[in-house]
Amino acid sequence: MKIFITGGTGNIGQYVTLAALKNGHEAIVLSRNPEKYPSLAKKTKLVKGTITDYDLLADYVKGCDAVIHIALGWGNEPVSMFTNDTAATVNLLEIAEKAGVKKFIYTSSTAAMGHMRSGMDETVMNLPLDLYGSTKSASEAYVLGFTKYYGSNKEVSMKRNIIRPGYTYSNPPFPDGSSQSDTRFRDIADAVVNDKPVTLTKHDGTQFISSGEIAQLYIKLIESDKNGETYLALGNVFTTWERIAQIALECYPKSKSEIKLNDLGWGADPSLYGVKKMERDFGLSFDSRNDLRDHIKWNIDEAVKRKV
């Protein structure tokens, strides 16, 4: 299968690209700065561009069997957020259908769902809390609702599915690879290595998942005949940031750092996302704790290098 991947050099995308290649697929990767990733350029075709370069997208999507859309557009106001992300997604969706692409995966986020409620799985109503969540929720609606063209009443033949990642982390899979843009792991590691206090919120945490793990879901889904489905992609274990700091201290035992917790009244029993659907449909269930420890150790090693 020939797959066009947007954001294929990012935190999640680099692992999805490598997993696609490992499974015998051909990948064309859209990246804003492909020259930064010579290691990946040796393995597959990198194309310089953004998700709003519609003529370029049309050129490279032509002849592809599938599109995996991971790249994120951004804006500080409603219109720029819509233009740079939702409108870009809708344009790519239509470009792919017109090009005869058979399968399309859109990367959303748990932010589309908004408020944590009991039984948070793929069936709950989206109630986004901010523009980012609204953008993702709106894009989801277009992906799922694009079933036919009005006027001609032509049916859409392309299979369209959605993946909603939670907090996804990664070590770079090659020397010039990327890690996640969120700095909390790095901040904890820097504090531990430099003997500074680690200040966190009591009971704060999430169901972490590694990019290597989530890539398995992308490949299973793109190789399936699923259509119109949404999958939550998180680990099945809730881990607190306090526990992450404790592991960081275990990885750097000579540290004099202490963990300080702000008590905001959050309960010890967390609200959890339901992740049974990807297990039921694809046999995927991720504990994530081993990968998480490896990522914490990598951050400690990087913090030591920065200190030196």
Average pLDDT, the chain: 94
For the entire predicted model, the pTM comes to 0.95
Q: CB atoms < 10 A from the CB of 21, how many?
A: 15
Whether 21 shows a pLDDT value over 80: the answer reads yes
Q: CB atoms < 10 A from the CB of 63, how many?
A: 12
DSSP string over the chain: -EEEEETTTSTTHHHHHHHHHHTT-EEEEEES-GGG-HHHHTTSEEEE--TT-HHHHHHHHTT-SEEEE------SSHHHHIIIIIHHHHHHHHHHHHTT--EEEEE--GGGTBS--TTBSTTSPPB--SHHHHHHHHHHHHHHH-SB-TTT-PBP-SEEEEEEE-SEE---SSTT----S--HHHHHHHHHHTT--EEEETT-EE--EEHHHHHHHHHHHHTS---S-EEEE--SS-EEHHHHHHHHHHHSTT----EEEE-----SS---B--HHHHHHH------HHHHHHHHHHHHHHHHHHH-
Tens of pLDDT, residues 91-144: 999 999 999 999 999 999 999 999 888 779 999 999 999 999 999 999 999 999
pLDDT confidence of 188, banded at 50, 70, 90?
very high
Whether 52 shows a pLDDT value over 80: the answer reads yes
Which is more confident, 251 or 116? Answer: 251
CATH 3.20.20.70 given to domain 2-167+210-233: no
Tens of pLDDT, residues 207-244: 999 999 999 999 999 999 999 999 999 999 999 999 99
Confidence (pLDDT) at 8: 92
Sheet with 66-69: list strands edge to edge: 45-48, 26-31, 2-6, 66-69, 103-107, 159-165, 230-233
CA distance linking residue 92 with residue 11, whole number of Å: 21
Q: Which of 190, 201, 186 is nearest to 259 (CA)?
A: 201
Whether 250 shows a pLDDT value over 90: the answer reads yes
Supply angle C-alpha 114, 115, 120, rounded to 5. Answer: 90
Whether 256 shows a pLDDT value over 80: the answer reads yes
Whether 64 shows a pLDDT value over 90: the answer reads yes
Whether 150 shows a pLDDT value over 90: the answer reads no
CA distance linking residue 293 with residue 251, whole number of Å: 9
Confidence (pLDDT) at 181: 78
Residues of the chain with CATH 3.40.50.720: 2-167+210-233
Residues of the chain with CATH 3.90.25: 170-205+237-264+274-307
Confidence (pLDDT) at 151: 81
pLDDT confidence of 172, banded at 50, 70, 90?
very high
Confidence (pLDDT) at 118: 73
CATH of 170-205+237-264+274-307, one of 1.10.150, 3.40.1000, 3.40.50, 3.90.25: 3.90.25
Q: What is the mean pLDDT of residues 19-48?
A: 95
